[in-house]
Every structure is written in C-alpha cells, then in structure tokens.
Homo-oligomer: A and B are copies of this chain.
Amino acid sequence: MRIITISREFGSGGRELGKRLAEALGVPCYDQQIIEMIAEKKKLDKSYVAHVSEKDIRVLYPSTIGKHIIAPNYIGHQSVQIMVEQKKLIEELATQGDCVIVGRCADLILKAYQPLNIFVYADQETKVTRCMERSDETENLSPEQLVRKMKEIDKNRASYRAMFTSDRWGSKEGYHLCVNTSGKGIKTLISGLTAYVNGWFGVQ
C-alpha cells in the first residue's frame, strides 16, 4: 500500500504538491474533504470544523466562532470529538487503498501503515508571494499581516502535532523527505517526486 502524507508550512505549496502528486500517482488526495466529511457526519459547520481541525485543543479556551462566544466546556468537548472523528476517518481512508493525505498529523496517525512522510517548506519570500497570488485565502491582507498569519497557522500546526508526539513539527528527523519549494513552481517537482515515491515503495 502506498500512503503518502504531506505536512507543510503555510504558503509553501504543500497542498498543491499533494494534489498534483496524487494526480500523477493516480490515487485520491484527501485534504479539505476530510473537513467536509466530518462536518457532514457531525452536523457541524464546515468553517467551524476547519477552525479546530488542526489546532491544539488546549489553546481553544476560550474561543469565539464568528461573533459568538462559545462556552469553554462546549468547545473543549466538540474539539475532542472532532479530533477523534478525524483520526477515525483518516484510518478509514487509509484502509481503502493508496492515497495522499495532507496535514492533520496523518503521518503519526497512520504510523502502522508505514506511510512515506513528506514535509514541504519554503523561504518566507516564496510563501508570501504564493499566498498573495492565491487571494481566496488571504484576501485583503498586507504582506506583514500575511507573515503574522503564516506564523500563527504554523504555530497551531506545531502545537497540534505536540499532542501526538515529542518530535518537533518541521524537524527533518520526523519525515522521510523534506522538499524546499523556494522559488520553484510546484509542477516542476512532481515528476521527480512521483519517481521518488514509486522507488520508495518498490514500484517500477
């Protein structure tokens, strides 16, 4: 079975890399769909699930969703439920066959499946440029605000990871391959990565 997990710095192009790699390998890529599936199953708002899906539940007290202050206990309970649901779902997806999974500590959750774990990173200039070009996620943010947002999201990811392992998020020792996308179009890296994945799993 070929399970590939993608961990990534915000803005590094990890999501695009995961999607394109999955296409090249002819396997599904799970990313936002995980959130949609959980939201549907738990009858929750997608943006709410997205909000807590990669956050350390310990930092969610107290929290607001939109303009509504949510009672801490409610948030805590919901977050744990979402986390458990997410873990179950990721395991279910893995049993269905070869796939690429982006984020959500899938590398740790699926350890028993011996996935190939890739970390995608880039220098700040590349990440800011990439985010500015994709206005859907970063509308109306100045470069300075973007850098702050990037750091905050990566900090949340690191904190989320810390619930699963003592390995530091982004520390190369925790991954099989670390891919620097600085100054590179993601497309140009895909054929090489596809060959690397196939070699790793002994597929000719």
Contact = CB atoms under 8 A, between A and B. Distances in A.
How many copies of this chain does the complex contain? 2
A192 B188 contact: no
A170 B171 CA distance: 10
A178 B189 CA distance: 14
A73 B28 CA distance: 64
Given A176-B180, A178-B172, A180-B177, A200 B195 contact: no
29 contacts: A121-B172, A121-B173, A123-B173, A170-B172, A172-B172, A172-B178, A173-B180, A175-B180, A176-B180, A176-B182, A177-B177, A177-B178, A177-B179, A177-B180, A184-B200, A188-B199, A188-B200, A188-B202, A189-B196, A191-B198, A191-B199, A192-B193, A192-B196, A192-B198, A192-B199, A193-B196, A194-B195, A195-B195, A196-B196
Interface of A: 119, 121, 123, 170, 172-173, 175-180, 182, 184, 188-200, 202
